[in-house]
Amino acid sequence: MTPYYEQYESNPYLKEFYQDMKSWSFKSQIFFLTQKFKSHLKLIHVQNSVVQDRTIYEDAEIFARNLYRSRLMRKRDFETYYDLYTSLLNTLPSPDLLIYLRCSNRTIRKRIKNRGRSYEQNISPRYLGRLNQLYESWIASYSLSEIAIINTDELDYIHNLVDMVDVRKVIEKYI
């Protein structure tokens, strides 16, 4: 299995987005959508199994939707974005497996703090909670492929080798 990490740092709008979400939400989300589409196309041709850090689905179904519902993205911008997303989606094959790393809002905040990205440190707990709720709703209705749900509140799969191996074993059951 080869990991493919999101290239979040290449988003030229991200710092401004966290400073003023309403002004930068559409531009930032269009950038992420474009990057995810290109990544998805590239990964289709990889011969071995690939684990993608963040999917094209999440950008639209979680992040852009949350911005719209929170009135941080205008209706016409969201509709334009979502129309583009569905058009792109129709050209892509579904993944073989979706891996959902479930965790609580508390764990999300702890991981953001530990990650140490300065522009993320002031994200409101309410904003993160809404994202988590959207993830749960989305995963409950997701039907494009099998889903492996891994509860990660008690896991440190970044630094703890035992946890890494346990997560890998769960994933390997599906591939």
pLDDT at residue 30, as a whole number? 97
| Cα–Cα separations (whole angstroms), residue 90 to 23, 85, 94, 106, 170 | 29, 9, 10, 36, 29
Is residue 163 annotated as part of the catalytic site, yes or no? no
pLDDT at residue 50, as a whole number? 82
Burial bucket for residue 33 (CB in 10 Å: 0-12, 13-18, 19+): buried
DSSP H or E segment with residue 162: helix 161-172
pLDDT at residue 51, as a whole number? 82
Which one from 53, 96, 153, 156 is the annotated catalytic residue?
53
User: What is the C-alpha to C-alpha distance for residues 16 and 13, in angstroms, rounded to an integer?
Assistant: 5
Report CA torsion sign: 161, 166, 168, 169.
positive
Contacting residues for 94 by C-beta, under 8 A, at least 6 apart? 144, 145
DSSP H or E segment with residue 3: strand 2-4
Per residue in 100-143, pLDDT tens? Answer: 999 998 998 898 888 888 777 888 889 889 999 999 999 999 99
Tokens 């891994």 -> residue: 150
Per residue in 6-49, pLDDT tens? Answer: 877 789 998 899 889 999 999 999 999 999 999 999 988 888 88
pLDDT at residue 144, as a whole number? 94
Contact 36, 55 (CB under 8 A): yes
In CATH terms, the superfamily for domain 2-172 is: P-loop containing nucleotide triphosphate hydrolases (3.40.50.300)
Burial bucket for residue 112 (CB in 10 Å: 0-12, 13-18, 19+): middle
pLDDT at residue 3, as a whole number? 77
Per residue in 63-80, pLDDT tens? Answer: 999 999 999 999 999 999
Angle between helices 75-89 and 21-44 (to 10 degrees): 0
**Residue of higher predicted confidence among 84 and 163:** 84
Contacting residues for 47 by C-beta, under 8 A, at least 6 apart? none
- Residue range 87-106: average pLDDT? 92
